[in-house]
Structure 1
Amino acid sequence: MSRFNLSTAILLLATVTSLPAAKPLKAPDGLFKDLNDSNATSVILLRETELFIDGRLISSMKGARRKLNQPVKHKQNPLLVADKPWEVGGPGYGTVHYDPKTKLFRMWYQTWKKKKGISEGNLCLATSRDGVKWTKPVINKDTGTNLVSPPDVPGFQCPGIIRDDNDPDPARRYKMLFSCAPNNKSSSWMSSAGFSPDGIHWTTVKPLKIIPFSDTQVCPLWDSRNRRYMAILRFGPPNVRLVARTESEDFLHWSPKVTVFRRTTRDAVQQTQFYQMAPMPYAGGFIGLIGAYHNESLKPITPDKPWTDRQDLQLAYSRDGVIWSRVGGSGTVSYSELMAKRDWGPRARASVFLPYGDMKRKDWDWGYVIPYFTPDPIVVGDRIHFYYAGTDAKHWWTWTGDPPKLDPNPKPPKKGVGLATLRVDGFVSVEAGPKGGSMTTRPILFLGDTLTVNAEAKGGSLTVEALDAEGKPIKNFGIESSVPLTSDSINHKLAWKGQADLHQLQGRPIRLRFHLKGAKLYSITPGTRHAHYIQSYDQ
């Protein structure tokens, strides 16, 4: 080392060692918290949107109630009807996808072939840019039709279709479960699977025998949390109108069916059976649309039992996709409660999610409605899209008179596909009238600095106070400091005067007490909006 470099190094070393030591800085009070298995026991960890369909989050309500809300039917219904020679008996069971990348809606719907013996369906495809105006593109150039090429097996029907972007094999991008009778005999009825690269050209799995027969639409889903497929289908054998479930890790080997819904005491009011259920993942759980078929009869509909031989849609809910609950007029109802002996009449009628149309008005869907399967929620703006098939006749429309007789030349009913929309998260609300009411949560814990609520408070108000786990008010987050919500929004941010955000509430067990006056609360969602960097040293 030269004399110059040595001198420079000594000078630099002396300079560095002579600098004063940097002083560590202290974080503001309440920013950092301890979180362990002792101070966070018996709390609900809020990780995503929390709905009020069940009572998991609710500790108590005073002057408030939970209420099932119904979607609004589109004014232009029916949006799609059978108007082609090959659409006999359609539109029947259907599946609707929406691709946010291409902004394209795709609808697969079943029609029927004119043939003797075992029934067999066609599969058609319609597309839309807005979910309202549908076109039937020419897919098969040889026939000039919108018919896709379904699995080539006798008795094909009742398909449910998913798009699976997790499968590395592009030939299996689209997956289907369906029912068939490969030997053209009733003894060979079964449910099977098919794959497709585009949703148009399908191949059938081999061997075909993978699931016992489901005499209604088979609806598969990918359960991302548990990394497996699940399917909702009909019970059996024997073929009975009950809802069952099965699951698979590879879409080929399916577990034995388990029954998730049987008829209860409440169902005896209208002699309700479950025709099918279309599931949909939503907000960390699952929504199910049940085809609730009432009082099967060949006789005419009477004024005292207007639900006879008609079908509406009821709601079901599950947090894990395995254990399901029925939803009534005020949220989920346990199986044991549904089996209790009581006057279920008003409660049974209040459990309708999507009603059939008005028979006196001769609505296009006055007879029965069937849920269309949407394997992913279709959300447009702040509304959820629900598609369904409807008809202007009762179920057994081929029978007339009393005593009923089979009509030798029955006039086929008109069928169509309709749309109903619901406010995002709007399945069940916590609400109070003009006199006001409150709802207090169980102890919850969230991470972040923001709590967003979906609430309708126009013409009323919603305020919130934060309590500790024991129910004592938290300083600076009392009712007197709460910034009132007085408008309608799916994205209200809870706020307290003098507080830039809610980081002081995060990472600790708290309760929230909502005070509602002429207001409705639909959901609550945790999040982080701000950067929480602070300097560690003063130099």
Structure 2
Amino acid sequence: MKHSVSGCLLAAVLLTACVRADNPIDIGSRRELFVDNHILKHMDGVRLKLHTPQDAGKAFVLDRPWEGLGGYPTVIHYGGKFQLFYRGKTGLTNAGNPDETTCYAESTDGIHWSRPNLRLFKVHGTRKNNVILDNTFAPVCHNFAPFVDTRPGVPANQRYKALGGTFPVEWRKEPDSGGLMALVSPDGIHWKYLATKPVIDKSLHPARNCDTCQSSVFWSQHEQCYVCYVRVWKNFGKERLRPGFTGDTRWIGRTTSPDFINWKPIRFMEYTPDAFPDQLYLPNTQPYVRAPHIYVAVTARLSDHRLVITPEQAKALSVPKDAWRDTSDAIFMTSRGGFRYDRPFMSSFLRPGPGSQNWVTRCTFPVQGIVRTGPNELSFYVERDNAQPTEHIRRYTLRLDGFASVHAPYQGGEASTRSLRFQGSRLRINFATSAAGWIRCEVQDASGKPIPGFELRNCREMAGDHIDRTVTWRTSSDLSRISGQTVRLRFVMKDADLYALQFSK
């Protein structure tokens, strides 16, 4: 092996410039995940590996009369309770149709869900339901996107916020209509409008086409502003489109706001690497709960007009007309703020899987929200059997921080970081090895020379499967004498995966 212009935008530009020059990256005591190359400088015999979520079974079945063809669900974990928000829709009607409602379920563990009898609105002839927004809120119910506002000082009666609304299909003929409305709530159940007009309207869109899918919105601790990702349409020209693609491509745009009311013009996101554009149907982007400076996007990739099942199979599934003429899967990206996604993994994160029922329109659409459902477990949810009588939401799991890793094969390899500056006295890592595998770590100075006492030969070999293992050199793990200095980390590995690292006290 060989040895080897807003405050939000300004922060992202400075961070990018820092990395490109390989100046020290000040990670302080925050957790860093190996989902991109942000802190990695050199890899020899190892690679970044995207991990496959594990199917944990059905989580929630949409079988009430007012639910029907649901869509755009969101899962939130707050105050010891898991909350599920989703659209109720009785048929394949146009976006924003009055038959749409917003429904609510809750759970104590994120696994077993129940519908509270809220009795807020009369729907389908009864108040015994779990509807939190009825059709008087149309078209907000079509793509309702709630979140918990973690901004310091937010009023208790505005702890929950949401965006929702649609743009008319013929919006160019109606320049002053449509847009995303802002709503607030103290508990996620009782909602009211925050403003009487849309806070994001067509005047903020960067392209000729607006759209009506669910947005991703949150308060960013990292950027100190509200961030909203929206679906936009972008024209790449024929030379950039895959065979069979025509016209505009579904894309993702971003806007920010200091107060949730006044939003900046939407800008197109950029992608690294800059490959052929996929049809990205949903933003589904949020801060990762254990590293909020990293935004994780598990989003839907639509293969538009791609026929996989036959008309006979569609009929057997009771799929409505034209609801089987495309397919989709889920892909994985990240962002660290600003207008760029990192997408080192071009392959799918979650495939449709076996069975013709998984190859119809808008199936394998990820639910917005990735939550912790156990000491070592993350859960995210996916819409399955879309446009079918068996439509349901399915749960998938990953290990904590386990989206991706630095992976070493049996033959071994090593990875070195860029120059880092940290605060703390311990280095903790999240890793897993085989019975024959191991990991060792060396701490180097800014020039790449081993720091005495922290050489590779002095590092105690680490094997096993640990979420939070302290690295030890001989008999000590104390790094306090070099805290605040510029260092590099060198990991030598065999048959192992390194998911994350963090310096701490």
Residue number in structure 2 paired with 1:248:
257
Are the aligned partners of 2:271 and 2:341 in contact in 1 as well (CA < 8 Å)?
no
Are the aligned partners of 1:191 and 1:214 in contact in 2 as well (CA < 8 Å)?
no
Change (3 A) 1:445 1:301: farther
Q: Shift of residue 413 of structure 1?
A: 5.0
Q: Does 1:219 align with 2:213?
A: no
Change (3 A) 1:149 1:59: closer
Q: Counterparts of 2:159 and 2:375 in 1: how far apart (Å)?
A: 28
Q: Does 1:388 align with 2:382?
A: yes
Residue number in structure 1 paired with 2:31:
49
1:521-532 alignment, distance < 5 Å: 521-528=498-505
Q: Does 1:447 align with 2:413?
A: no
Question: Percent of pairs identical after alignment?
Answer: 28
Unaligned runs of 5+ in 1: 1-40, 330-347, 394-411, 529-539
Alignment root-mean-square deviation, CA? 3.1
Q: State which structure, 1 or 2, has the greater radius of gyration over its C-alpha atoms.
A: 1
Residue number in structure 2 paired with 1:324:
340
Please point out which of 282, 285, 292 is paired with 1:279: 285
Change (3 A) 1:525 1:265: closer
Q: Shift of residue 352 of structure 1?
A: 0.9
Partner amino acid for 1:119? Answer: N
Q: 1:118-169 deviations in whole A, cap 9, x for unaligned?
A: 6242111111112111111101166100111358343231010012254543
Please point out which of 466, 483, 486 is paired with 1:506: 483
Q: Does 1:154 align with 2:138?
A: yes
Change (3 A) 1:297 1:119: farther
Q: Counterparts of 1:388 and 1:195 in 2: how far apart (Å)?
A: 26
Residue number in structure 2 paired with 1:60:
42
Are the aligned partners of 2:149 and 2:159 in contact in 1 as well (CA < 8 Å)?
yes
Secondary structure of 2:457's partner?
helix
Partner amino acid for 1:152? Answer: T
1:167-178 alignment, distance < 5 Å: 168-178=154-164
Q: 1:447-479 deviations in whole A, cap 9, x for unaligned?
A: 221000111124111111222222222222222
Q: 1:255-276 deviations in whole A, cap 9, x for unaligned?
A: 11111158997446xxx31111
Q: Shift of residue 503 of structure 1?
A: 2.1
Q: Shift of residue 215 of structure 1?
A: 1.3
Change (3 A) 1:244 1:386: same
Secondary structure of 1:215's partner?
coil
Secondary structure of 1:368's partner?
coil
Secondary structure of 1:373's partner?
strand
Residue number in structure 2 paired with 1:234:
231
Partner amino acid for 1:431? Answer: H
Q: Does 1:71 align with 2:71?
A: no
Residue number in structure 2 paired with 1:119:
97
Are the aligned partners of 2:307 and 2:327 in contact in 1 as well (CA < 8 Å)?
no
Residue number in structure 2 paired with 1:370:
365
Q: Counterparts of 2:454 and 2:269 in 1: how far apart (Å)?
A: 43
Q: Does 1:108 align with 2:85?
A: yes
Q: Counterparts of 1:523 and 1:262 in 2: how far apart (Å)?
A: 23
Partner amino acid for 2:55? Answer: K
Are the aligned partners of 2:106 and 2:114 in contact in 1 as well (CA < 8 Å)?
yes
Secondary structure of 2:165's partner?
strand
Are the aligned partners of 2:331 and 2:350 in contact in 1 as well (CA < 8 Å)?
yes
Change (3 A) 1:317 1:116: closer
Q: 1:478-524 deviations in whole A, cap 9, x for unaligned?
A: 22211010111011111101435222332322222111011111111
Are the aligned partners of 2:217 and 2:286 in contact in 1 as well (CA < 8 Å)?
no
Are the aligned partners of 2:166 and 2:212 in contact in 1 as well (CA < 8 Å)?
no
Are the aligned partners of 1:93 and 1:110 in contact in 2 as well (CA < 8 Å)?
yes
Secondary structure of 1:524's partner?
strand
Q: Does 1:137 align with 2:116?
A: yes
**TM-score by structure 2 length?**
0.78
Are the aligned partners of 2:381 and 2:396 in contact in 1 as well (CA < 8 Å)?
yes
Q: Counterparts of 2:44 and 2:325 in 1: how far apart (Å)?
A: 38
Q: Counterparts of 2:234 and 2:156 in 1: how far apart (Å)?
A: 34
Are the aligned partners of 1:155 and 1:181 in contact in 2 as well (CA < 8 Å)?
no
**TM-score by structure 1 length?**
0.74
Secondary structure of 1:152's partner?
helix
Q: 1:276-327 deviations in whole A, cap 9, x for unaligned?
A: 111110212211122100142468569xxxx97111111121112x232242
Q: Counterparts of 2:192 and 2:283 in 1: how far apart (Å)?
A: 26
Q: Counterparts of 1:58 and 1:519 in 2: how far apart (Å)?
A: 17
Q: 1:322-377 deviations in whole A, cap 9, x for unaligned?
A: 23224233xxxxxxxxxxxxxxxxxx4xx2112222136x5699972112222x74
Q: Counterparts of 2:230 and 2:422 in 1: how far apart (Å)?
A: 37
Residue number in structure 1 paired with 2:402:
426
Q: Counterparts of 2:272 and 2:459 in 1: how far apart (Å)?
A: 46
Q: Counterparts of 2:143 and 2:27 in 1: how far apart (Å)?
A: 38
1:306-325 alignment, distance < 5 Å: 309-320=326-337, 322-325=338-341
Are the aligned partners of 1:127 and 1:137 in contact in 2 as well (CA < 8 Å)?
yes
Secondary structure of 1:504's partner?
helix
Q: Counterparts of 2:41 and 2:138 in 1: how far apart (Å)?
A: 54
Change (3 A) 1:177 1:167: farther
Are the aligned partners of 1:155 and 1:184 in contact in 2 as well (CA < 8 Å)?
no
Q: Counterparts of 2:410 and 2:471 in 1: how far apart (Å)?
A: 21
Q: Counterparts of 2:341 and 2:169 in 1: how far apart (Å)?
A: 38
Partner amino acid for 1:370? Answer: F
Residue number in structure 2 paired with 1:518:
495
Are the aligned partners of 1:96 and 1:373 in contact in 2 as well (CA < 8 Å)?
yes
Partner amino acid for 2:220? Answer: D
Secondary structure of 2:131's partner?
coil
Residue number in structure 2 paired with 1:396:
none
Q: Shift of residue 392 of structure 1?
A: 5.6
Q: Shift of residue 116 of structure 1?
A: 7.4
Partner amino acid for 1:256? Answer: P
Change (3 A) 1:259 1:478: same
Residue number in structure 2 paired with 1:5:
none
Q: Counterparts of 1:511 and 1:381 in 2: how far apart (Å)?
A: 30
Q: Does 1:206 align with 2:190?
A: no
Change (3 A) 1:504 1:168: closer
Q: Counterparts of 1:366 and 1:140 in 2: how far apart (Å)?
A: 33
